[in-house]
Structure 1
Amino acid sequence: MSGTRRSPQQDRSRETVDRILVAAEHEIGERGVVGASTTRIAARAGLSVGALYRFFEDKAAIVDALASRYLEAVAPAYTEVVSEIASLSDLEAVLGELLSRAAALQEQHPGYYRLTEELAPDRGDSPAHAVREHLVDLFADALRGTGVQQPPGDLRRVVELCIETVRHTLAQRPPGHEDREASLREVELMLRSYLDARLR
């Protein structure tokens, strides 16, 4: 039996959803969650508000979709690097690459990073909470694989602090900021020292 093919209508719907989410990334990235509106997002996507509401019932649904979209991008990006970590020395070797990928993901998903400043990921009701938990699990599992003997709660705390340090630095030094690259280098030095002190 041949595989099921998507209809042209399904393809058009997917393209429309993608247009809405790309527009939302930029609108929320510029104005924040509170300042953005479905009217402006629709206009930016080249749609009527009514057309937007065919796919998303309100702004909250769009924000949730942005978080899901970010997770779809971030999971493989980090998993590829984390899979190379077999020892703490490996972690030190790939730390710069992890920071570079985080910076690139922020450039591609400005709306997600802006929403994390307004709806902190540590809040259970934040759309970013599931993303943060996934990343904590990913990195904590990788560190446990190196033989780190930290109690689970302590290890998660270490990972959470590292993730939040990077996220907040990127939010405060967005793309185009004159101090962005220098700040990321400083963060890399900080994390190297912190991880060495806490995990060895």
Structure 2
Amino acid sequence: MMAADDKRLRARKTPRQARAEITRRRILDAAAHVFAEHGYAAGTTNRIAERAGISIGSLYQYYPGKDAILAELIGGHLDRGIVSRQMWADAPSAPLTDVLRGYVRQAVDNHRDDPQLLRVFLEHAPQWADIAPRIAEFHQTEIEGVREALDHHPEVHVADTATAAQLVVTTVELVVHWVSAGAEVTPSALENELVAMLGRYLAGADAPAPPVNG
């Protein structure tokens, strides 16, 4: 495991001008394609630079190597999941089915990256001391937000909302990762089944089935 202050996981240059930001974005986009196509081991900085249309020297001005590039891609992936926190904060004022559908849909949309790239994320993110605490913090914050919403939602009838919140977050996270990484399930089918399963669990076994979203 790499040390928490390992410079191999940190960008060398923070863009201050629009042109530099465009170059940084080109490197990240190129790396996403290269890692998805070739895997992490064969996804060399030379391939990334070639795909981005820049020299290898220019790439190294921004990143010390592909570890730092992947770390930034993973960080961006986590940042896109922050939307769900506000969604749960507003949950008690909306029907439970609508809240669950919005949460699942947002999770699915956040995992529409190439399945091969998601596999690279899953394989490497937990191994890095710099990234693992951020993943754990994001996960715990989301669980706390869900529990707060469950405690105050009139349709929720589970007795142990702390455990229920962990089950909701972990179930959606693991199932969406699994499906996005290559399982043959359509996004709409995944959404409908997850909403139905979680809705019945949270509202009680006798709860009516949620409407299917076509």
TM class by shorter chain equals 0.7 to 0.9
Shift of 1:45: 1.0
Q: How many residues align?
A: 185
Aligned residue in 1 for 2:179 = 169
| Matched position secondary structure for 2:160 | coil
1:158-197 correspondence runs (5 A): 158=167, 159-173=169-183, 179-196=186-203
Question: Could you say which residue in structure 1 is the equivalent of 2:22?
Answer: 15
Aligned to 2:121: 116
Match of residue 134 from structure 1:
138
Query: Is 1:81 aligned with 2:87?
Result: yes
Partner SS state of residue 112, structure 2: helix
Deviation at 1:46, TM superposition (A): 0.9
The list of structure 1 runs, each at least 4 consecutive aligned residues, that deviate by more than 6 angstroms after superposition, is none
In 1, Cα distance between equivalents of 2:197 and 2:42: 34
**Aligned counterpart, 1:68:** 75
Deviations 1:82-114 (A, max 9, x none): 232127x74432222222222222225767623
Q: 2:105 aligns with which of 100, 105, 114?
A: 100
Q: Residue 194 and residue 134 in structure 1: after superposition, are their counterparts in 2 closer, same or farther (change >3 A)? A: same
- List runs of 5+ in structure 2 lacking aligned partners: 1-14, 152-157, 206-214
CA contact (8 A) 1:162 1:191 kept: no
SS at structure 1 position matched to 2:150: coil
Give the fraction of aligned pairs with identical amino acids, expressed as a percent.
Answer: 27
Which fold has the larger relative contact order, with Cα–Cα distance below 8 Å and residues 6 or more apart in sequence? Answer: 2
Q: Once the two structures are superposed, what CA deviation does each residue of 1:99-151 show, in whole Å capped at 9, x if it has no partner?
A: 22222222257676232332365x66483662353144224323224327637
**Is the contact made by 1:27 and 1:111 (CA closer than 8 Å) also made in structure 2?**
no
Counterpart amino acid of residue 78 in structure 1: S
Distance 2:148 2:16 in 1: 47
What is the TM-score normalised by the length of structure 2? Answer: 0.68
Take 1:103 and 1:32, find their aligned partners in 2: how far apart are those partners?
Answer: 22
Residue 198 of structure 2 aligns to a residue in which SS?
Answer: helix
TM-score, normalised to structure 1's length? 0.72
Change (3 A) 1:91 1:111: farther
